[in-house]
A and B are shown apart, each in its own frame.
Chain A
């Protein structure tokens, strides 16, 4: 699903965000991306949806090398992905239903499909009852559920989440992570950057730890930080 080979990213201000990153993620994986602030987690996720291009190396997502992806092909590439952020990025003047249907309308999905798929996505995130509410009438957790519904409404093969629980309380965070886990069960590969130690430790999924733009640890059923058996 995802292959990175010798990937480096240097921003225009000469900040080295990633260097020498090699990584393989299989279809159906659920991966936590952890590490201190500035380690390069967001940059890595951004490479995967082609928000930025790699300075060095190859990034292959679903068989597509994003480096050689033509500008006009980026939109088609992104239609197979779902992206979620810490700040939800909802449109305040649209209700829940319309925030989700927006993702289908702007890619000109057949109108008869839209209602069905939005309904399914809202059902999955448990917001069917709030379809008519505006984002400012929802709690943070509910808003993130809307964002998740929008991300999955087009049945993505890969879901990328950048600190999806960063603005949420522990209880709500757990619900959101469980939701992502459900989505993974339904077949989407999930890559989730997070600082949420307790959830990562509870869920025991694959953990990739980064520091200074490099991968320093990659464990099958890992914990947030490896501190030795006696800590």
Chain B
């Protein structure tokens, strides 16, 4: 093929692409918003699971050996803010539970000369997020030898959630940024194609707002429709995934409420419309600044 023909064909292809540029922007926005919405949905559910697990966290407060007045200690534990309840486990009860939990040791336990297990309180929390502070307060009560709440488990859980949300924020920013750029560029093409019109509008005294309006609107439509496509995909995917999880792992607590899905859809649509409008407005700046 001659170089001239290649140039001609390339030129025509480029022009065709430009004509379909709005469609392309729509697809890119839809893809970005789908990734964004899916990430949000996953983050929401993982956070929900995390909170449920956190809610099950208990503190075990071991009592000093030979302590008589455990009831007084119990009421002092219950007085700590964030504590819902404290249930007394006597030395005997503790041994019994151990024998139940570890049947292999049942014989060994029987041969023990003494009961080596301390008495304790199972402390239930009304505010699981402050487990660390509560454990500290309970540990400081006179008559309490030590506390155990699975520090590493609790801390691990909250750091997992932190990483998850940092990642989600990153995805959010990247997707908003990516969509904005493509919408900005797409509308930039329309703006450039209409620069003569814009020039005349400026000359005869049209306001910036009036000149911008169609481009802001165009951006908003691309953003909104793209998000709508993404939203349909997200909701469908959500339903599908929820059904799958329910079949495969029914014990996993999913956020399956209608409000959660509606909220997710609303966030994605609003974000799409706003970023589209912003990108459209931005695209006109080149011809409107002084």
Q: Which residues of A contact B (CB under 8 A)?
A: 49, 53, 71-72, 74-79, 81, 83, 89, 91, 102-103, 106-108, 150, 154
Contact = CB atoms under 8 A, between A and B. Distances in A.
Nearest to B211: A106
Given A53-B290, A71-B290, A108-B210, A89 B200 contact: yes
B290 A107 contact: no
B204 interface: yes
B152 interface: no
A147 to B, nearest CB: 10
Given A75-B205, A79-B205, A89-B196, A106 B290 contact: no
Contacts of A89: 196, 199-200, 203
Given A91-B196, A91-B200, A108-B210, 6 more contacts: A72-B208, A75-B205, A106-B210, A107-B204, A107-B207, A150-B204
Contacts of B199: 89
Interface residues on B, range: 10 to 19
Contact of A78 (B197, B204, B208): B204
Contacts of B203: 49, 78, 83, 89
Chain B interface helix/strand/loop/mixed: helix
A107 B205 contact: yes
12 contacts: A71-B290, A72-B208, A77-B205, A81-B205, A83-B203, A89-B203, A106-B206, A106-B210, A107-B204, A107-B207, A107-B210, A150-B200
Nearest to A79: B205
B290 A78 contact: no
Interface string B179-222: 00000000000000000110111111111101100000000000
A126 B200 CA distance: 22
Shortest 3 CB-CB contacts between residues of A and residues of B: A79-B205, A78-B205, A106-B206
Contacts of A106: 201, 204, 206, 210-211
A71 B206 CA distance: 12
Nearest to A80: B205
B207 A91 contact: no
A77 B206 CA distance: 10
B166 to A, nearest CB: 40
Nearest to A103: B204
Nearest to A51: B203
A91 to B, nearest CB: 6
Contact of B204 (A71, A72, A154): A154
B217 to A, nearest CB: 15
A76 B205 contact: yes
Contacts of B210: 106-108
Nearest to B198: A106
A85 to B, nearest CB: 9
Contacts of A107: 204-207, 210
B187 to A, nearest CB: 19
A79 B201 CA distance: 10
Contacts of A78: 202-205
B290 to A, nearest CB: 6
B98 to A, nearest CB: 79
A66 to B, nearest CB: 12
Nearest to A89: B200
A102 B210 CA distance: 13
A17 B192 CA distance: 28
Contacts of A75: 202, 205-208
Contacts of A150: 200, 204
Nearest to B207: A75
Nearest to B210: A106
Contacts of B204: 78-79, 102-103, 106-107, 150, 154
Contacts of A81: 205
A107 B207 CA distance: 7
A72 B212 CA distance: 13
Contacts of A83: 203
B201 to A, nearest CB: 5
A103 B197 CA distance: 10
Nearest to A153: B204
Given A53-B290, A71-B290, A91 B197 contact: yes
Which among B197, B200, B201, B202 has the highest number of chain A CB atoms within 10 Å?
B200
B122 to A, nearest CB: 68
